[in-house]
């Protein structure tokens, strides 16, 4: 039976490091230095904006600063999301598929998260390509990338996040767009615990995600820790990119960080 | 130099555009495209912005469609981007007239 490496590595108090590590393990998988890997992790209060987003357009930056909510940009497209310890993130990095990677990521890999939600008892459905909704309310959103030679998808799962803080730090979509009912489910988020009417523990969610992806991939999961190389790449990415305002607030592309790219390539290259 | 903005709803989310128009040359001096869309490969968005710099105003639409050829968009279309760019240009030019 195939195996699925599972990492529970997280740095909730440092969202910049959490995202740096996210890129590091995606790249390590792409370079063939680690096997297929599922990571489950959390941030304490943070806003995570999409690769094509400008933080100031999506986030009330002064309110975020006042509430002590850091803003960090991720390397995948899609919209801004609010994280706290009541939101569980999953990330899956596998080898490049032989079929169309976009269909594979959103059409197939996403079903691991769907299976997890159903295991928790939710009548979950995929909506509009990459959202998962229960009774018309979004509890999970996902985003994929195929950069670095792997097929990578990550997503959120709102369990019992503080939606009050969410609505204070995330700017609402422009009024004229809302009235036209654009991607409505995208903006109608809810916590799974509220929908299911019961308390859901983090452990339960982790188990459901692991089992959901085991089932999807026909693989047996085993718990692992990050390799020294993954942590080294994460530290480089943290210093050179994720801890920097020009990455988080200004929307520069990866290639604007040229010397960092060289350093990372050299670390990945040395070990191949 | 005139500035214009547009926000266009697309099937999944929004495409926001901000342009700088050089009215003397009747050309785009710069464009910034942001939003919660998905484009693969991702760097095509920056190539689009670079490719639009200096584009004559009448050719913006054609340039957008040509620069997005081969780019996979999820939840939006090249037309969405072309329309958002054109609207931002119209607003920039209109702001001058008014």
* ipTM of predicted complex: 0.95
Torsion angle, alpha carbons of B36, A110, A81, A174, to 10: 40
Task: State the residue range of the domain holding A199.
Answer: 2-270
Name which of B5, B10, B13, B77 to mutate to probe chain A: the one with the most chain A Cβ atoms within 10 A of its Cβ. Answer: B13
Across the beta sheet with B27-35, the strand order is B2-9, B14-22, B27-35
**Interchain pair B34, A173: CB under 8 A:** no
* Domain count along chain A: 1
In this structure, are strands A2-7 and A37-41 parallel, antiparallel, or unpaired?
parallel
Which ranges constitute the DSSP H helices of chain A?
Answer: 15-30, 55-58, 61-67, 101-102, 110-119, 163-169, 175-178, 184-187, 192-196, 202-217, 228-237, 245-248, 258-270
Is pLDDT above 90 for A187? no
A32: left (phi over 0), alpha (psi -120 to 50) or beta: left
Is it the case that residue A38 has pLDDT exceeding 80?
yes
Which residues 53-92 of chain B have a CB within 8 Å of chain A?
72, 74-75
Residue among A145, A46, A140 nearest A92 (CA): A145
Residue B50: how many other CB atoms lie within 10 Å:
12
Does B41 sit behind a cis peptide bond, omega within 30 degrees of 0 on the bond before it?
A: yes
Instruction: For residues A134 and A139, give the distance between their C-alpha atoms in angstroms, rounded to a whole number.
Output: 7
Q: Which residues pair with A189 in a beta bridge?
A: A138
What tens digit of pLDDT does each residue of A54-76 get? Answer: 999 999 999 999 999 999 999 99
Q: How confident is the model at residue A272 (pLDDT cuts 50, 70, 90)?
A: very low
Residue keyed to tokens 């009235």 = A179
Confidence bin at B94 (pLDDT 50/70/90): confident
Q: What is the pLDDT of residue A177?
A: 59
**Backbone dihedral region for residue A267 (phi beyond 0: left; psi -120 to 50: alpha; all else: beta):** alpha
State how far the Cα of A117 lies from the Cα of A254, in Å rounded to an integer: 33
Maximum alpha-carbon separation in chain B: 40
Query: What is the reported pLDDT for A21?
Result: 98
Does residue B31 contact residue B63 with C-beta atoms inside 8 Å?
no
Quote the percentage of chain A above a pLDDT of 90: 91
CATH number of the domain that residue A253 is part of: 3.30.930.10
Closest CA to B17 of B83, B82, B63, B84: B84
> pLDDT tens digits, residue range A99-144?
999 999 999 999 999 999 999 999 999 999 999 999 999 999 999 9
Strand, helix or coil for residue A72: strand
The verdict on a CB contact (< 8 Å) between A57 and B33 is: no
Question: How far apart, in whole angstroms, are the C-alpha atoms of residue A46 and residue B17?
Answer: 26
- Note whether A50 contacts B: Cβ–Cβ < 8 A: yes
Between CA A106 and CA A205 the distance in angstroms is 21
| Residue whose structure tokens are 């904006």 | A49
CB B64 within 8 A of CB B78: yes
The pLDDT of residue A162 is above 80:
yes
> Which domains does chain B possess?
2-97 (3.30.390.50)
Contact status of A86 with chain B (Cβ, < 8 Å): no
Which helix (H) or strand (E) covers residue A92, if one does? strand A87-95
Q: What residues form DSSP beta bridges with B39?
A: B73
pLDDT band at A182 (very low <50, low <70, confident <90, very high): very low
């Amino acid at each position: 039976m195939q195996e699925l490496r599972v990492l529970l590595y997280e740095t909730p108090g440092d969202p910049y490091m959490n995202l740096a590590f996210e890129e590091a393990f995606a790249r390590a998988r792409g370079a063939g230095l680690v096997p297929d890997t599922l990571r489950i992790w959390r941030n304490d209060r943070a806003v995570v904006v999409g690769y094509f987003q400008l933080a100031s357009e999506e986030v009330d930056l002064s309110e975020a600063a006042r509430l002590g909510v850091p803003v960090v940009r991720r390397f995948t497209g899609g919209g801004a999301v609010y994280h706290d310890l009541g939101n569980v993130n999953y990330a899956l990095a596998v080898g490049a598929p032989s079929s169309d990677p976009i269909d594979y990521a959103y059409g197939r890999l996403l079903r691991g998260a769907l299976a997890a939600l159903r295991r928790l008892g939710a009548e979950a459905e995929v909506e509009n390509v990459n959202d998962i909704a229960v009774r018309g309310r979004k509890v999970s959103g996902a985003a994929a990338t195929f950069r670095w030679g792997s097929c990578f998808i990550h997503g959120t799962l709102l369990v019992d996040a503080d939606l009050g803080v969410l609505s204070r730090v995330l700017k609402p979509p422009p009024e004229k767009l809302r009235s036209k009912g654009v991607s409505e489910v995208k903006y109608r988020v809810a916590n799974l615990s509220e929908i299911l009417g019961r308390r859901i523990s983090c452990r339960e969610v982790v188990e459901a995600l692991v089992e959901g992806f085991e089932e999807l991939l026909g693989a047996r999961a085993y718990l692992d820790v990050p390799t020294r190389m993954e942590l080294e790449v994460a530290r480089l990415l943290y210093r050179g990119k994720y801890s920097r305002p020009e990455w988080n607030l200004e929307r520069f592309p990866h290639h604007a960080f040229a010397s960092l790219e060289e350093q990372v390539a050299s670390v990945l290259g040395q070990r191949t | 130099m005139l500035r214009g903005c547009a926000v266009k709803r697309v099937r999944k989310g929004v495409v926001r555009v901000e342009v700088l128009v050089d009215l003397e040359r009747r050309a785009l001096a710069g464009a910034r495209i942001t939003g919660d869309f998905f484009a693969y490969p991702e760097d095509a968005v920056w190539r689009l912005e670079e490719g639009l710099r200096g584009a004559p105003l009448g050719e913006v639409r054609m340039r957008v469609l040509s620069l997005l050829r081969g780019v996979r968009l999820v939840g939006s279309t090249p037309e969405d981007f072309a329309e958002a760019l054109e609207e931002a240009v119209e607003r920039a030019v209109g702001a001058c007239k008014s």
